[in-house]
Amino acid sequence: MVIKPKIRGFICTNAHPTGCQAHVNEQIAYVKEQAYTADGPKNVLVIGASTGYGLASRITSAFGHNAKTLGIFFEKPPTEKKTASAGWYNTAAFQQAADEAGIYSKNINGDAFSHEVKAQAIEAIKADMGKIDLVVYSLASPRRTDPDTGEVYSSTLKPIGQSVTTKNLNTSKRVIDEVSVEAANDAEIQGTIDVMGGADWELWMNALNDAGVLAQGVKTVAYTYIGKELTWPIYGKATIGKAKEDLDRAATAINNVTASLNGQARVTSLNAVVTQASSAIPIMPLYISAMFKVMKADGTYEGCIEQISNLFKENIYGDTPRIDEQGRFRQNYKELEESVQQRVTDIWNTVDTDTIDELTDYVGYHAEFLKLFGFNVDGVDYDADVSPELAISNLL
């Protein structure tokens, strides 16, 4: 079939297998050009390994450090008439490249929140990897089923304390309008913490520790976005922000559990980038489009692979890591520079529908959005007839 993007609201409902492969190969090529420290990871577990920062972490581990990786994800496989999700095709491309390079890599497609997937991962680690020295936790999900009670928790994107009306870039209509979001109640706040907080990260690390598969000096990171004043009303100081604060609690608990191994758990603050998750959050498309304009002009913009590559070099395995007052790795320092934030704020305050392309880089934002699903990738013939059916090798 000839596959063209099918966009509904803030999501794309299909993906292009050849385009996803080309996008993954672009990231692999970038990593291969970098220089990394010799004392990097050797055996890596990536929970949430198929898109965004998780995929970038897996690529950096494998192709930057020649590490064995086990990737956990929950993706939709293809059928004869329907494409797979982008993460499925991304993983197939990553695995093909790993196979060709002779780098160990295996995959589990299932609910990472469940006890069953944790047990399956531990079995694979014991069989092939021995001890894990880096665990990357990079999950984004709207719901989570409690593995003990079966209760289903749901997250929500709402402010706390009072409702918020703010400027917004409506990507469906390509206009600047306003969005109003009611304040969350206590149940919605707690539900978001239960889904997007640190509970599952903690469960994973406890399970791995109890199974004896964590190496001496094991490191683990969980990714977060903090932002600044413009995004705080619906992000940093909202329900998602409360969930992200719970990651700090979990990091402390994990450090206590892994103390005998001299383990290190740190939350990592990263830049805003175009991901399937961020595109769903009100105000983020406008903020990111303005940020792109400023940081690309400065030559400081970094996408997922550049951010994670530098995270490994500067912080996780760096001699002088940047650590904030909460003990988090600071990889977002370029975005949060005062001059950058002021210029983004100036754009935010003045942009309207007629000046979107002049004042922001919405064209770049939309191009990055399409690339998430394998579209708009250089060198790909999107008029070619391709089969949506593609298998992932080494899928457990």
Asked whether residue 111 is marked as a ligand-binding residue, the answer is yes
Where does 72-198 have alpha helices with state H? 86-101, 115-124, 186-196
Task: For tokens 């079966």, name the residue.
Answer: 150
Question: What pLDDT sits at residue 281?
Answer: 77
pLDDT at 30: 98
In terms of DSSP bridges, do strands 7-8 and 11-12 run parallel, antiparallel, or are they unpaired?
A: antiparallel
What's the mean pLDDT in 270-293? 86
Which of 32-36, 205-209, 222-226, 358-362 shows the lowest per-residue confidence on average (mean pLDDT)? 222-226
Q: Quote the tokens at residue 377.
A: 């990738």
| pLDDT given for residue 212 in this prediction | 97
CB atoms within 10 A of CB 125: 22
pLDDT digits (tens, 9 = 90+) for 366-380: 999 999 999 999 999
Q: Is 370 known to sit in a ligand binding site? A: no
Q: Which of 203, 114, 188 is nearest to 155 (CA)?
A: 188
On the question of pLDDT at 322 being above 80, the answer is yes
Average pLDDT over residues 284-306: 95
* Residue 230 identity (one-letter amino acid): L
* Of 103 and 8, the one with more pLDDT: 103
DSSP secondary structure letters along 349-367: HH--GGGHHHHS-HHHHHH
Measured from the Cβ of residue 173, the count of other Cβ atoms closer than 10 Å reads 9
| pLDDT number for residue 377 | 96
Specify the higher pLDDT residue, 167 or 27: 27
Average pLDDT across the chain, whole number: 93
Residue 227, pLDDT score? 77
Whether residue 298 has pLDDT greater than 90: yes
Residue 240 has pLDDT above 90, yes or no: no
Q: How far is CA 147 from CA 47, 177, 184, 344, in A?
A: 16, 41, 25, 42
190, pLDDT greater than 90: yes
User: Would the pTM count as exceeding 0.85?
Assistant: yes
Each residue of 193-229: pLDDT tens digit?
A: 999 999 999 999 999 999 999 999 999 999 988 777 7
CA distance 27 to 102: 18
Confidence of residue 58 (pLDDT cuts 50, 70, 90): very high
**Strand blocks (E) in the chain:** 7-8, 11-12, 43-47, 68-73, 105-109, 132-137, 143-145, 152-154, 164-170, 175-181, 214-224, 264-269, 329-330
Is 51 among the annotated ligand-binding positions?
yes
Query: Does 140 appear as a known binding residue?
Result: yes
Check residue 315 and give its pLDDT.
95
pLDDT value at residue 293: 97
| 317: helix, strand or coil | coil
The larger pLDDT score, comparing residue 238 to residue 117, is at 117
Q: Is the pLDDT of residue 309 over 90?
A: yes
Q: Which domains does the chain have, with CATH numbers?
A: 7-372 (3.40.50.720)
49 known ligand binder = yes
Task: Give the pLDDT band of residue 280 (cuts 50, 70, 90).
Answer: confident
Per annotation, catalytic residue among 89, 153, 223, 235: 235
Does pLDDT of 274 surpass 90? no
**What is the average per-residue pLDDT within 67-75?**
97
36 part of the active site: no
In this predicted model, what pLDDT tens digit does every residue of 136-147 receive, in sequence order? 999 988 999 999
